Structure 1
């Protein structure tokens, strides 16, 4: 064994000349004398230091030498100084036959560190442990606290030495297994090295909860304390009926360290999901519902966990109709929580839209108004929002994963009530609207409202610049308003929206014909002609050219197949009509009508991009976006028993919302209107529509998505005018800080929630801001740049979450300044707040 070790030393250290071998008790004397070493000279100490020193430095200076010394190894300062070969010894190496000695030799540790190596050698002998602890395996860094942290890092299978916050969090996650085999292994290793008390102390320092031993049960108690205090740390009052009050941490320093751990875990993508699973497990013990019961649902909780949110939802769900405005505020507050799960977030989004729809419906004082103008004004001012909220609620509901929603949340009942309320509203509204319109004989000519059939004469003919008209099939008013909101994000444009009244029947070929110019328009049994030319899509360019030779009509889809030079040529015309069909193409097909609201989202997205492209790339100064008609959509299936029968009379045309006859119809629960009353057609024919939102029983078609009738949703269509000219912006949207409590840097990080106060609109434009931490005027953190350009009415959808990381040079500053600047003005902050730096509490204690 000695021979291999000696040869190993000289092989590992090619420059080694003299290998010292101290053997006080002469245990290896005979073995050394019997050694046969190639190219290695063996020299014996015979208490002849002067002669030996000369021999080693002169006669054997070119030899590799094993120096055998049957004396005690010098191990005190005096012995070192008295040893005559000290210089040679320090310049060379010593043969170590034990693991401790070899380890110290390998890592160049000093002799006084031998006891520490001996104490932990049981773990240090493993290559995996050495790899993790590598940064501290040197004479200058080899200290017991660092070594203990490194060993625990290795035991917990980290690749590098982690902070005690991360180590404690990882140790806690091992308690989730039914059979904590991995935890037992780690604890055994710590116990065998006799520093369990140290780890217990670290657990207390990190979490603020004291345990006597490291067991699954005790660690789960620590996790319960963490969950409790993460929820309750902003509530100072301790109520006697709080069954979990034993977990309460009152010391602010301990809370700071706990928050530090939680932030470090939040930034660790591997550990975070496991830790969340742990907290989810102990939430069965620390029941959020009980905390709400004891402290009230309006208490100043630091956070709401999933159970607490579901509990509040359970309490408010029965009041969605009776007290929607209060519930909206409550649900919005919950949705602003930073760590809300996907299902909870989607459920809150759905319920907020439901509550908003009920709120708007509940605010309607009467459905009976005096004039058609009053109905249209009321609809375009407020009532269209009911359709918007219904659409958004339906989209959110379709995205819900019902399997993750507790059974006591009656989502099906809530959704059923949503549909019932919306059905009742659309029926009552349109019954009274059509009754009023009937009193005015449906004579559009006598209504003080903009009509679709005047569009070209009033909007296009007077234009003194290039104009593009985008006609999006079935883009109803509420969808147009959403498009307008999205377009406000483009600061280089100014966009505003008006409305027009579409013709009855509200069907595609009629609406498209009314939007075209013409002196004589004929229905012609459905084969509509304008000045003798068919108004079918193939001939629309010809009709436009009769009024302006530099005109063009083209399908939106056709543009996809053209190159940019060809498209640029098209938009050099004075007038271009672009026909866009996404909503109607989806909704008007029975197989896909349930995707109508998805199609609205797609249409808005496409149109927003297209309008911006027209302005930016094709030099179009003015763009109009409008529609041929709107639509009605009800998400529940329309049963056959709820459909009206079509008459047996001879009809020129019929569909599920209208039929056309040569004579007036006397069908009950219907209105028979001269076609010429709402259009520019001169034909002596009549169109019959239902009293309200009823459908006719028409085979082979869908009945949830419909148009052709006279409802406000079908007739009121948007006219969006977008111009490539900048108006002076007098107001920008404002940022608001919504963090609870004071602002504190914990573990070098400040977490912020920044809310865009209002949605971007025509009067409030987007704002670019920069956020950072400052020491007086010096930036001492990363600087985050945010674009405040959200268009949503919901605050939870206008929220930014920001992390500012404090730089090393400012880590010891007790107080800093948080500053938010408009990027156009870096001298005057919009917001300035004092921030306490809690990082001065040592992270490793």
Structure 2
């Protein structure tokens, strides 16, 4: 760089100043290239004298009168004046002149062949500043060509670390706007703009008599779209197509898959979509042609509208190509804009599942109803819950309002409207009491004979389907073994009686004034429940989750020390659902409850070495989004001596009215009690004052009365896991086309010992230069059948010359940036790089 050029100059000048006689050397630097560097020049036997255009006469006086012994380099940062205007002409005549050609010095210093000196001279203005020159030197170029020199100059302007036109272009696109781009202005300042556009043509096939960055970006996006669209482009776009699609696809793939640049890709995508009116152009297209295209966010919006339309028509069997609606949603969630539209696609998947049950039916036999619910029907409650969990999180969900109405109708009228009357018909013969273990037998069945310490987590209102979601989460954890079961809650299915039934007891009693007693004792608060528990298990304790989560580890250890049974009361779902202003948040509360209970199990395993847990609930709930109509409220059934709730009534006499089932409390409690509990046989409610109506419990339905029992064993020690691997199935040794499709397989299904992994796959040269697009594949399949874990990826190669004698590689990088696959191939592409002609 400049310092080294000065060293060369100093060496030459020091030779001039050898000997005994006095020497004067004039250096006219025509362009003033070394004006900033001259003071750093190290001369051994001479001094530097700066000549200015207006001090020539004084200089002559100084050199010939004031100091006639010192050797001087007289440096003039301007051209040598004509003789008529040069007062030093005679002095120059008897002195020596020095010529420093910066281009020559740079060429020698950089090791550039003499034949490339003109290109250095062409851009000599660039080397007028130290910082630019240093950046050029820091690139440490080994092999110089005209293109390499020009790309290096642009790289120095863009402050990149490597000589790469792709990297230059990436900086131009991502670090400034398309209009009034500062990098193009810099290129223009140093006469590099023509070279930039020429390289754009070489790299991306972009030609234009009046080129602009905006039009070039249009070409990139349209060419990319054309490659992944299965139909013809809109006619207005055809002229924007490039013949070098491989390079464009590789470039945009790398941009959109980069954590650093994906947001800028999306900005550019939005600008192009608006400028080219993409949404309008796509409106008339068959959605099938866009299934594999991810260029624009509008494609996802277009497909989402199509799916919603099919679902509104209750066409759950609709396909695009070979993809069903859930498969299409899953595929799109893994594509570029999947993170933006994840909630939309999740909502559509849940709606699809529910709409598939539009003609719901179940057995008339209670045992059949329960078996079907445990095996399958509970999923409908989950689909409904997850639908609203997505719906409520989507900021602008107006486009799904009609779909919401359909989902609500199917869930409320066809599913609950069919299931609940058949379920409640089971009370007439007392059959419901025999289809599942009873909640009032919980302690004797699960706790009494357990020898190891057990932690019982009672999550208020965690209904069966939510418990299944927790069980699934536990199953996926490498340190947990979980078994799922169910039991039938008491009726009424409300907190006071449900919590009492989970305690050890001989008798459960509802008094004449409707208080709940356990063996004659009240158990309405934590201390009372603990007293009941300690009568049977002295080394036991009851604690609120909210108190436990705020404790430090030492305090938790002290609390659990010496305990055999610990009841932890968790209240997330019921606390939100029972309040009028938060009842519509109950499905969020379900998700939070799952996470909180899971986290509690993990924490207690680590903090107090607890390894034996049982998770259950006091009752479940019914939630419907639409407000109840007056016709769904049962009025006029309460009496002076009755205890009436929205979903149940306790009274001395059975209610003999249509739509109401009455059950003897003696059947529920297991001892003589003359009172009756009466419940709506559907999802209707009794008309009572106050409270919400979307979230209810206390009545008789699978959702309210079937509660989960999850037995969990945990391991504190580390359980060895390994990431899932992917392998190349295609026996490819040679690549002969610029577009190549390869088959891969995920080695094993994801499990508790094999964890999912995200991989990036692309081809590189022997110098690790990327020569193809980059595919990202998330290996997360749990399918046990190998053929279902196979997947296919398409690679688009750069349109350039390839050397058949050199190795190229397919590589795979995992999400920890570790290379896990390097497969050698021969690149034998006969007509790459424009069929061998520079056209």
Match of 1:433 in 2: 422
- 1:324 and 2:287 are equivalent in the alignment: no
Match of 2:209 in 1: 212
Match of 2:591 in 1: 601
The question of whether the paired residues in 1 share the 8 Å contact of 2:344 and 2:390 is answered with: yes
- 1:721 and 2:749 are equivalent in the alignment: no
Q: Secondary structure at the match of 2:421?
A: helix
Q: Following the alignment from structure 1 to structure 2, what is the Cα–Cα distance between the partners of residues 323 and 738?
A: 38
Match of 1:514 in 2: 501
1:618-676 CA-to-partner distances (Å, cap 9, x unmatched) read 23342110000001111233355643325341244222111211222234421222122
| Matching residue within 364, 369, 374 for 2:368 | 374
Q: Following the alignment from structure 1 to structure 2, what is the Cα–Cα distance between the partners of residues 550 and 790?
A: 46
Match of 2:382 in 1: 388
1:285-329 CA-to-partner distances (Å, cap 9, x unmatched) read 373775696676057745353222222232332221623254533
The question of whether the paired residues in 2 share the 8 Å contact of 1:292 and 1:308 is answered with: no
1:685-711 CA-to-partner distances (Å, cap 9, x unmatched) read 111211211122322211111110101
| Alpha carbons of structure 1 residues 418 and 773: separation in structure 2 relative to 1, 3 Å | closer
Compute the displacement of 1:758 (Å): 6.5
Match of 1:305 in 2: 296
Q: Secondary structure at the match of 2:288?
A: coil
Compute the displacement of 1:583 (Å): 0.9
| Alpha carbons of structure 1 residues 305 and 751: separation in structure 2 relative to 1, 3 Å | farther
Q: Secondary structure at the match of 1:519?
A: coil
Match of 1:529 in 2: 517
Q: Following the alignment from structure 2 to structure 1, what is the Cα–Cα distance between the partners of residues 40 and 501?
A: 94
| Alpha carbons of structure 1 residues 22 and 438: separation in structure 2 relative to 1, 3 Å | closer
| Alpha carbons of structure 1 residues 65 and 269: separation in structure 2 relative to 1, 3 Å | farther
Compute the displacement of 1:467 (Å): 1.8
Compute the displacement of 1:458 (Å): 1.5
- 1:17 and 2:45 are equivalent in the alignment: yes
| Matching residue within 456, 461, 470 for 2:448 | 461
Structure 2: which 5+ runs fail to align? 1-25, 81-94, 319-323, 771-775, 796-802
Match of 2:90 in 1: none
| Matching residue within 650, 654, 665 for 1:660 | 650
| Alpha carbons of structure 1 residues 741 and 676: separation in structure 2 relative to 1, 3 Å | farther
Compute the displacement of 1:265 (Å): 3.1
- 1:644 and 2:634 are equivalent in the alignment: yes
The question of whether the paired residues in 2 share the 8 Å contact of 1:512 and 1:628 is answered with: yes
The question of whether the paired residues in 1 share the 8 Å contact of 2:807 and 2:824 is answered with: no
The question of whether the paired residues in 2 share the 8 Å contact of 1:128 and 1:154 is answered with: no
- 1:412 and 2:401 are equivalent in the alignment: yes
**Normalising to structure 1: TM-score of the pair?**
0.74
Q: Secondary structure at the match of 2:427?
A: helix
Match of 1:543 in 2: 532
The question of whether the paired residues in 1 share the 8 Å contact of 2:499 and 2:618 is answered with: yes
Q: How does 1:203-282 map to 2 (within 5 A)?
A: 203-215=200-212, 219-234=213-228, 239=232, 244-249=237-242, 254-266=244-256, 272-282=262-272
Q: How does 1:444-523 map to 2 (within 5 A)?
A: 444=433, 447-523=434-510
Q: Following the alignment from structure 1 to structure 2, what is the Cα–Cα distance between the partners of residues 158 and 417?
A: 57
| Alpha carbons of structure 1 residues 496 and 630: separation in structure 2 relative to 1, 3 Å | same
1:522-557 CA-to-partner distances (Å, cap 9, x unmatched) read 112332222222222322222223323322222222
The question of whether the paired residues in 2 share the 8 Å contact of 1:773 and 1:816 is answered with: no
CA RMSD of aligned residues (A): 5.6
| Alpha carbons of structure 1 residues 428 and 264: separation in structure 2 relative to 1, 3 Å | closer
Compute the displacement of 1:511 (Å): 0.7
Q: Secondary structure at the match of 1:320?
A: helix
Q: Secondary structure at the match of 2:73?
A: strand
Q: Secondary structure at the match of 2:308?
A: helix
- 1:163 and 2:164 are equivalent in the alignment: yes
| Matching residue within 41, 48, 66 for 2:73 | 66
- 1:767 and 2:755 are equivalent in the alignment: yes
Compute the displacement of 1:146 (Å): 4.3
1:115-151 CA-to-partner distances (Å, cap 9, x unmatched) read 555533445435675565453699x888754453355
**Normalising to structure 2: TM-score of the pair?**
0.75
- 1:398 and 2:392 are equivalent in the alignment: yes
| Alpha carbons of structure 1 residues 154 and 274: separation in structure 2 relative to 1, 3 Å | farther
Structure 1: which 5+ runs fail to align? 43-59, 74-87, 805-809
Q: Secondary structure at the match of 1:233?
A: helix
Q: Following the alignment from structure 2 to structure 1, what is the Cα–Cα distance between the partners of residues 471 and 505?
A: 29
Q: Following the alignment from structure 2 to structure 1, what is the Cα–Cα distance between the partners of residues 707 and 522?
A: 24
| Alpha carbons of structure 1 residues 516 and 266: separation in structure 2 relative to 1, 3 Å | same
Match of 1:50 in 2: none
Compute the displacement of 1:354 (Å): 1.4
The question of whether the paired residues in 1 share the 8 Å contact of 2:662 and 2:678 is answered with: yes
Between 348-357 and 479-488, the greater mean CA deviation after superposition: 348-357
The question of whether the paired residues in 2 share the 8 Å contact of 1:643 and 1:694 is answered with: yes
